[in-house]
Amino acid sequence: MKSSFCCNCSGSLGFGCLVQPRLGSTAFPPTKRKEQTDPDLFSTNRGQLSRGRNPEPRPAEASHHSQALATARARPEAGSLSRIRRLSSSLPATFRTCLSGRRKHTYGDGNHSCSSLYMASGQLSRAEALACSGCRHACHVMLYCDTNTLLFGSIPIRHIVLMQMRFDGLLGFPGGFVNLSEESLEAGLGRELLEELGVAFQILEEDHVDSCFAPASSPASSTSPRLITHFYTKKMEEGQIRAVETAAVTTATDHGQEVLGMVRVPLHSTKGGGGLASFLSHSFVGNARFQLLHTLLRLHLVAPEELREALARSLKIQARASEELRAALARVEGKTNLPHHSPAHTG
Ligand SMILES: O=c1[nH]cnc2c1ncn2[C@H]1C[C@H](O)[C@@H](COP(=O)(O)OP(=O)(O)O)O1
């Protein structure tokens, strides 16, 4: 998570080493990603100006520019970056602040946000994201593999998907902030992965899935530069995933500090309604839950109907948890019915 480039890893695990031998890190080469895509529950309309299934009214003066921008985004090759910049400079001032990264983005009735005004769910193309000089950038990756392992000898696990428990108690993907003045998105992500997982990865541009304006973490953060999160996926072999899990607790410099542990996402459902539903009811950092859900569908790791069911159960689990928390808080505040606290036993 921090930018120090220290690694005290053990020897190579046989996938080739991408860092200095003295670092002795495990390393994984790039993999060619051939992932299927399809229309899904969480359509992101990547690279388009459409605002999804519930379009909001668009100010008339913006529509001409928006159409031109849409065309530029739709054809990301051949000078589109400069074209997007040129077009954005001709946008009304309120629209320009969106692209320049400052979070002052109210328009008209004040209810629209940069992401909802003319971008679907805050989604933006890679070129547009890179053109945002005033934005901060963070990259995260979902590492996953297929598996034949059976839980309790009968429940197929099907896929291993890695996330991590962060220092702040939230679930997220490995990765972190990237400094675009010093490194590319992928190089920065590789640096973060080395720190957090103790493994050198070569993440490629073709592993990039989407870029998105992050939701504001608090009202107080409304004046700070906007954060764009870039999301990647990387399919690996099961042995490589196991090696990552081992390195993450043995050689990663961030282990026990910024990263409290790697976790596998349970994709199955137990008879009692646990598994994926329980996992989804936990707290996630930023838009990590959305990234997970979208990717599970996009890669066909979970069927849409299974996911719907898990989400419905998840809401019930959360409602129950809210009740428990409210009751616990009432007990703590009222200091009634608390378990009797006795001095430590001395034996
Ligand atoms: O998994 C994630 N998905 C989307 N956004 C994320 C995720 N993890 C963190 N974030 C957001 C919120 C954080 O403030 C920034 C930076 O990420 P982080 O991993 O905390 O960065 P450092 O390791 O401290 O560089 O991105």
- What ipTM goes with this model? 0.98
Q: Which of 164, 165, 168, 177 to mutate to test the pocket of ligand 1 (most atoms within 8 A of CB)?
A: 177
User: Mutation test of ligand 1: which of 229, 230, 287 has the most ligand atoms closer than 8 Å to its C-beta?
Assistant: 229
The residue ranges of DSSP E strands in the chain, in sequence order, are: 26-28, 123-124, 136-146, 150-151, 155-156, 159-166, 171-172, 175-178, 199-201, 208-213, 227-235, 259-264
Tens-digit pLDDT profile for residues 80-117: 334 434 433 433 333 333 344 444 332 222 222 333 33
Question: Which burial class, exposed, middle or buried, applies to 40 when counting CB atoms under 10 A from its CB (0-12, 13-18, 19+)?
Answer: middle
Q: How confident is the model at residue 13 (pLDDT cuts 50, 70, 90)?
A: very low
**Of the listed ranges 8-22, 195-209, 293-307, 314-328, the one predicted with least confidence:** 8-22
pLDDT digits (tens, 9 = 90+) for 33-72: 544 433 334 433 332 222 222 223 333 333 333 444 444 4
Q: Which residue has the higher pLDDT, 31 or 259?
A: 259
State the pTM of this model. 0.71
Residue nearest to atom 26 of ligand 1 (CA): 138
pLDDT digits (tens, 9 = 90+) for 286-336: 999 999 999 999 999 999 999 999 999 999 999 999 999 999 999 999 876
Determine the pLDDT at residue 321.
95
Give the binding-site residues of ligand 1, using a 6 Å CB cut-off: 1, 138, 140, 172-173, 175-177, 192, 214, 229, 258, 285-288, 291
Locate the ligand 1 atom nearest the alpha carbon of residue 196 and give its number.
Answer: 23
Q: Are 190 and 202 in contact (CB under 8 A)?
A: yes
Q: Can you tell me the distance from the alpha carbon of 74 to that of 296, in angstroms, rounded to the nearest whole number? A: 25
3-class DSSP state for residue 245?
A: helix
Closest CA to 264 of 284, 241, 289, 287: 241
- Domain 21-31+125-314 carries which CATH code? 3.90.79.10
Q: Is the pLDDT assigned to residue 278 strictly greater than 60?
A: yes
Instruction: Please tell me the residue having the least CA distance from ligand 1 atom 12.
Output: 286
